[in-house]
Amino acid sequence: MRGRRALVTGAGQGIGFALARGLGAAGAEVLLNDVDPARLEQAVAALRGEGLVVHGRCFDVTNGADVERSVAEIERGIGPVDIVINNAGIHRRAPLESMPLELWQEVLDVNLTSAFLVTRAVVGGMIRRRAGKIITICSLNCEVSRPTIANYAAAKGGLKMLTRAMAVEWARHNIQVNGLGPGYMRTAMTGTLTIDADFDRFICARTPAGRWGEPRELIGTAVFLASRASDFVNGQILYVDGGLLAAL
């Protein structure tokens, strides 16, 4: 991946940080985005300490004007973006019948609309160069749901179809758009669930691998989707879930 530049949203921690590290270790120049400046600064310092070529850019992926301005500054000051990983995501759990509108809207804005805004800001250059890799971080909740996560499942289901729609529109420009669908991973966002003994037993019993996944286990799939090895792979969602979706 030498000579290629990757923008990873929500990369201050968790899956985004792991994927940024993986692409950087594979030779890419990596641009980390996060909305929290302190978290972003710490992430950039950590990866630079590992000898990776890393830049940080703090902007709100749900603000169209902020996204357009920041991407323009990146491409003008650092260089064109060859790879985008739309990873930014949040969870706001509540029963659907009593879910406040603001919790519904916040999750859709961050988990779905941000992927549209960031990709729209970058894809023009990819079209002109006739090359680009766009990866959306989907979820097994693109396919299945459970109580209290209707907003998250709706956003991830929409992200799955946005991924396919973008692939259909831009394949003729030699742009590949695919989704990476993690199963249950140990991250800051799932931290409260991993220490819930009942839920931990449920996930381990439901997953054929018998355990939670680790963010580093997503790196191989991300590198494949970001590299020339996937030049004829388009509009696909590749699930890395320990077999969960394959099992009854």
Catalytic residue flag (residue 152): yes
Q: What is the pLDDT of residues 21-52, one digit of tens each?
A: 999 999 999 999 999 999 999 999 999 999 99
Distance CA 167, CA 37 (A): 32
Backbone region of residue 217 per phi and psi (left: phi > 0; alpha: psi in -120 to 50; beta: other values): alpha
Given a cut of 90, whether residue 193 has pLDDT beyond it is no
Given a cut of 80, whether residue 190 has pLDDT beyond it is no
Q: What is the mean pLDDT of residues 127-156?
A: 97
**Multiple choice CATH, 5-246, 1.10.3720.10, 3.40.50.2300, 3.40.50.720, 2.40.50.140:** 3.40.50.720
Confidence of residue 191 (pLDDT cuts 50, 70, 90): confident
**Residues 144, 243, 238, 18: is their CA dihedral positive or negative?**
positive
Confidence of residue 188 (pLDDT cuts 50, 70, 90): confident
Model pTM?
0.96
Rounded (10°) angle between helices 150-170 and 101-108: 30
Given a cut of 90, whether residue 20 has pLDDT beyond it is yes
Q: What is the mean pLDDT of residues 184-196?
A: 83
Average pLDDT for the chain: 96
Given a cut of 80, whether residue 133 has pLDDT beyond it is yes
Confidence of residue 157 (pLDDT cuts 50, 70, 90): very high
AA identity, residue 18: A
Domain boundaries, the chain: 5-246
Q: What is the mean pLDDT of residues 191-196?
A: 80
Q: Are 27 and 50 contacting, i.e. CB atoms less than 8 angstroms apart?
A: no
Q: Are 57 and 16 contacting, i.e. CB atoms less than 8 angstroms apart?
A: no
Cross-strand partners of 29: 5
Q: Which of 17, 59, 152, 239 is catalytic?
A: 152
What is the percent of the chain with per-residue pLDDT over 90, rounded to a whole number?
A: 95
Confidence (pLDDT) at 208: 97
